Structure 1
Amino acid sequence: MLLRTIYAEFCKLHHSFIWLALIILPIVSAGLGTANYLNNLGLLTDQWYSLWTQHALFYCALFAPALTGVYCAYVCRLEHLNRNWNTVMTQPIPISVMLVSKLSVVSFLTLLTQLFIGILFLISGKLAGLTAPVPFALVYWVFRGWWALTVQAALLLCVALVIRSFAVPVAAGILGGFCGLPALVKGFGVYFPFSLLSLGMCSHHPTEPMDCSAAAFLISSCFYLLLGLTASLLWLKKRDIKTT
């Protein structure tokens, strides 16, 4: 049943603007990061690592959380139109299955985004004339970032389920991304869900390990993932009671 529900969620994405957003926003983010790197070559001398800090600066604080908010808002868009929630909640599908299917689709979209970001980073480095070997740590940055974005998606999906406005989850993502910067700088990044992306992608210190242990990163991310899913499930159950 879960696979069928996930397939149904993917069908909603056919001929949607989501794919355009997935392409354009990462390109803009990579372009800004590369331009900032090229304009500060006197200070940024660590080739790939320096380029990564500039790419991650724009991506982690603005573009990634905003794009995740767009994904979450879109997978809930059809249900919010014309009171379709009443139809959805009367289907013989467990609420938990519907919720997990939506999160799975958003998580897959963030994975595609992360892979695209990695490709754009490699292309940008070659265009910038970098000659050093590409750091293998890029693999860890990309996939840890994907996991952190899945955590963000669980929280933003709750916002998208509760509030009908398409813009609110996007705004919440942007606000969370900007609030995550001071938390990261102050050393509290592991305790704030929107700082986990910067931590996982080593946006500030790519030549060093994460600013927290892998265990702390995993525990914090699992906590916020479960928090988002639980809050969404409770809200959907409340809506189900009203529908029945």
Structure 2
Amino acid sequence: MLKRCIIAENRKLHASPIWVMFFLLPIISAGYGTFNYLQNLEILKDKWYSLWTQHTLFYSMFFFPAMVAVYAAYLWRLEHLGHNWNIIMASPVKPLDLFAAKFVVVAKLALLTHGFVFLLYTFCGKTFAHLPGWPPIELSFFLLRGALGALAVIAAQLVLSMLIRSFAVPVFLALIGGISGILASSKGFALLWPYSLMQAGMNANKSKDVLDGGYGLFIASCVIWLIAMFILADILLKKKDVRA
């Protein structure tokens, strides 16, 4: 059943307007990051690493949470129309399978977005910043860590979009989550808040590796938050109807 649910969720993306946002927001984010880097060359002297801090700051704080929120809200939109929720509750498909299918689809979109962001970062570094050589291999590792941390954000936004029928409110909450994630990271609480995990994984706006020596705790935090969101979703889907 899970496989069929994933196929059904993927079909929603065919000719979907979210693909415009998929390409547009990372380009805007890369533009902001590159402009900020070029305006601060006197203090940003670590070349590829400095450009990375500027790109990931805007991406992880504003653009990625908003994109994930839109992906999640879009996939829950059909279920919130009319009496479709009652149909879901009466269908032979396990409600958690539906949630898991949406999670897989949004995670796939997020992974593609991460790859596109890295391509834009490399392009901007060579074309506009005129940086020598190519991005250090360590930055690819940061990108993978960020993808792992993003899973908690994805699950959290799917829960919010499941609970809230409005399309805009979960997006607004995601922006608050992104900003609060930066604040939590600055206070040393990155591993205690799901919206900080991707930022910590990508080493956003940091010159030194914030996870140096703390990979076990980072992975554990990602897994715990992910499991917690799935358990919460399962409880909500089994025990109560979802209301706006």
* Both proteins in one fold, TM over 0.5: yes
Q: 1:127-146 to 2 correspondence within 5 Å? A: 127=127, 128-146=129-147
Distance in 1 separating the partners of 2:203 and 2:184: 14
State whether residues 70 and 170 of structure 1, in contact with CA within 8 Å, keep that contact through their aligned partners in structure 2: yes
- Residue 124 in 1 paired to residue 124 in 2? yes
2:91 matched to 1:95? no
User: Unpaired segments of 5 or more residues in structure 1?
Assistant: none
Give the letter aligned to residue 166 of structure 2: S
Q: Give aligned pairs, total.
A: 242
Structure 2: gaps of 5 or more residues: none
Distance 1:218 1:174 in 2: 24
* 1:175-196, Cα deviation, whole Å (9 max, x unpaired): 0100111111111111111111
The equivalent residue for 1:5 is: 5
**Against the structure 1 CA distance between its residues 164 and 211, is the aligned structure 2 distance closer, same or farther, given a 3 Å change threshold?**
farther
Task: Tell me what 1:65 maps to.
Answer: 65
State the percentage of identical aligned residues: 42
- How much has 1:31 moved relative to structure 2? 0.4
CA RMSD of aligned residues (A): 1.7
Residue of structure 1 in register with 2:160 after alignment: 159
CA distance in 2 between counterparts of 1:53 and 1:234 reads 39
The CA distance in 1 between the partners of 2:170 and 2:207, in whole Å, is 29
One-letter code of the match for 2:225? Y
Q: Quote the offset at 1:207 in angstroms.
A: 4.6
- Measured in 2, the distance between the counterparts of 1:150 and 1:113 equals 13
Aligned partners of 2:239, 2:135: CA distance in 1, in Å? Answer: 50
What's the secondary structure of 2:117's corresponding residue?
Answer: helix
Q: Distance in 1 between the 2:161 and 2:189 partners?
A: 27
Rounded to whole Å, the distance in 1 between the matches of 2:35 and 2:19 is 25
Question: Hey, which bits of structure 1, 4+ residues long, moved more than 6 A?
Answer: none
2:39 alignment counterpart: 39
CA contact (8 A) 1:68 1:149 kept: no
Tell me by how many angstroms 1:132 deviates: 3.8
Kindly provide the amino acid, as one letter, of the partner of residue 123 in structure 2: I
SS at match of 2:16: coil
Deviations 1:63-82 (A, max 9, x none): 01111111111110010011
Question: What's the offset of the Cα at 1:34?
Answer: 0.2
